[in-house]
Amino acid sequence: MAAPRTTVWELDPHTKAKHDILRQYLNGWFPVLSAWNGRIIFLDGFAGPGRYESGEPGSPLIALETLLEHSYFPRMRCEFLFYFCEADEARVASLEEQIAGFKEANQPWPRNVKVQVVHSEFFETATSLIENLRSQKRQMAPTFAFVDPFGVKGIPMSLLADLLSFPRCELFVNYMVDSVNRFATAGNIDHVLDELFGTTEYKKAGSVRGQTRHQFLHDLYQRQMSEICDFPHVQSFAMINRTGHIGYYLFHGTRDPKGVELMKEAMWKVDPGGGYKFSDRLAGQEVLFTEMGVDTTPLRLALLQEFAGRRVPIACIEDFTLLHTPYKRSHLRRPVLTPLEKDGVIKVERLGRAGFPAGTWVTFP
């Protein structure tokens, strides 16, 4: 539960993978949001010291680099606000030094990019932002909140709901399921878990064991993100370590299908490295996230179950694939629908001679 005592530490493979996902996602999120809004916010709840022992950039520098190095940045006219929250005094000093060096290396500094290092707990910073917005009767600008704690303390579900209740706000959170699994029925940190979930239902985990218990705690957190934070689209990605066990889940919550699409692209592009893998489950099977030799069998089974006995438009099948499976749109047509048609499993009514263009209808057995 406690954070490491050192100011800087070694970059773990799974943390690098997480940062690579962040970079990929922001590379798409910045231009999309900046095209329609006068101001957007990146909020890093547990910012760290700025760099790791071997000099690799932390999440604050990754976010700034992704924006300033973006080919579209010269045409982005909106204001970008970066809030980097860090509670440890030594890490704050290190982070401020790293950002100062980054700014020095990127002169002239763009006037529409504002950076603020906040020396406080994430809870305090988020509460202050909420109170200021309410007192001014204003809505928060579109916000991407990256919440990557060392444990399970300090990220109450109710706080996330208040902070991200505004349209176009998104959450990318590290859910330390191993810690939750260990303490769920111990009784010694119930007050922390009550806040983490926004309910006491996690105590029901005492009646289940093994993978079923893991899945129960996963599903509960996902449901709470959906119901309490009002995110209609919640995705989770398991991080499997070298031993084959799930170390934690990355949860992404958004209200916009475009956000789902961007996160899918980011997840499938990243090579976890170091023996770590991403996974999800669909139709009772595990889906491993790797672009090489993608196994689309779970998607095939899911489509046959979801649309059994129905005649549906291709757009409906695309939406299901995007919003209710771990797969991307590009995994649908050639890898799944084409073999199903060739094998005579589905009947296709299309506009044209081949493919699955807009206006196509598919009948499932």
How far, in Å, are 7, 58, 109, 143, 283 from residue 82 at the CA level? 22, 14, 14, 10, 40
Question: Which pLDDT value is given to residue 53?
Answer: 93
Look at residue 356 and tell me whether its pLDDT is greater than 90. yes
More confident call, 283 vs 275: 283
Mean pLDDT score across all residues of the chain: 92
Q: What's the rounded mean pLDDT across residues 314-337?
A: 95
Asked whether the beta carbons of 276 and 245 are under 8 A apart, the reply is no
Per-residue pLDDT reduced to its tens digit, 96-131: 999 999 999 999 999 999 999 999 999 999 999 999
Q: What's the rounded mean pLDDT across residues 339-350?
A: 96
Contacts of 207 (CB under 8 A, 6+ apart): none
Asked whether the beta carbons of 141 and 33 are under 8 A apart, the reply is no
pTM for the structure as a whole: 0.91
Question: Which pLDDT value is given to residue 275?
Answer: 62
Q: How many angstroms from the chain centroid is the CA of residue 228?
A: 17
Look at residue 161 and tell me whether its pLDDT is greater than 80. yes
Helix (H, G, I), strand (E, B) or coil at 51: strand
State the pLDDT confidence band at 272, using cuts at 50, 70 and 90: low
Query: To the nearest whole percent, how much of the chain has pLDDT over 90?
Result: 74
Question: Which pLDDT value is given to residue 4?
Answer: 46
Question: Which pLDDT value is given to residue 291?
Answer: 66
Q: What's the rounded mean pLDDT across residues 166-174?
A: 93
Question: Which pLDDT value is given to residue 6?
Answer: 79
User: What is the rounded CA–CA span in Å between residue 272 and residue 82?
Assistant: 26
